[in-house]
Amino acid sequence: MVMEMSKTYQYRKVMKPMLERKRRARINKCLDDLKDLMVECLKQEGEHVTRLEKADILELTVEHMKKLKQRGSLSVKYPSKSDCFRSGFFHAADQVSKVLAATPGVDVDLGTKLMTYLGNRLNQICHKEIQQIQQSPEALPSIPYERNSISPSWSDSSDCHSHQAYLKQGYPYPQPAHSKVTTEVTSANDIWRPW
């Protein structure tokens, strides 16, 4: 029993200082990294600091974080439901487009009609949203549920404007790799593309 205690004692005698050194090394490394970040931030604000002690680094960091909080720069912006829907809509349409392009024997007219339909639905949703915002700019309204609607209410029309501008650029519809099918496509402005 005496021998076991001596092994435990020796283990603690060796390990405890080693663990403490590692802990201090981690703290010092983080403080050095924080110092570099704070010096860079202070330079951007017009202040030049050459030497900082550990306490100075921590104080400057706390002050800087308080400034950011007051400006609202620290607030986390979660995506709205409409942003999530829009992202999912684009992803789904992109997947549909890829499957249509990669599947042999798919009629180009069918693909064109499907992508046009998806684009028209998105344009209808954007148009309704823009009209509602113009009618009531102080409140962000929701679009009422429609029987054939596939979207929730939208709260931000900026993506709709950029999407409509993108549609007018007229990129060609992707053709299947085997390209056996005729390449008759309706006007490029009529086809919605998710990319």
pLDDT tens-place string over residues 113-170: 888 888 888 777 777 767 766 776 554 444 444 444 444 433 444 444 444 444 444 4
Domain that holds residue 24: 2-71
Total number of domains in the chain: 2
Q: Are residues 122 and 35 in the same domain?
A: no
Last residue of a domain, one of 26, 42, 71: 71
Last residue of a domain, one of 71, 90, 116: 71
Q: Are residues 92 and 19 in the same domain?
A: no
Angle at 37 between CA 33 and CA 38, to 5 degrees: 115
Answer for the pair 180, 154: CB distance below 8 angstroms, yes or no.
no
Handedness of CA 109, 111, 115, 121 (dihedral sign): positive
- Six token digits for residue 150: 């596939």
Q: Are residues 28 and 56 in the same domain?
A: yes
Q: Is 41 exposed, middle or buried, given 0-12, 13-18 or 19+ CB atoms closer than 10 A?
A: middle
Determine the average pLDDT of the residues in 66-81: 77
Overall pTM > 0.75: no
Residue 195 located in a structural domain: no
Q: Are residues 21 and 93 in the same domain?
A: no
How far is it, in rounded angstroms, from Cα 50 to Cα 58? 15
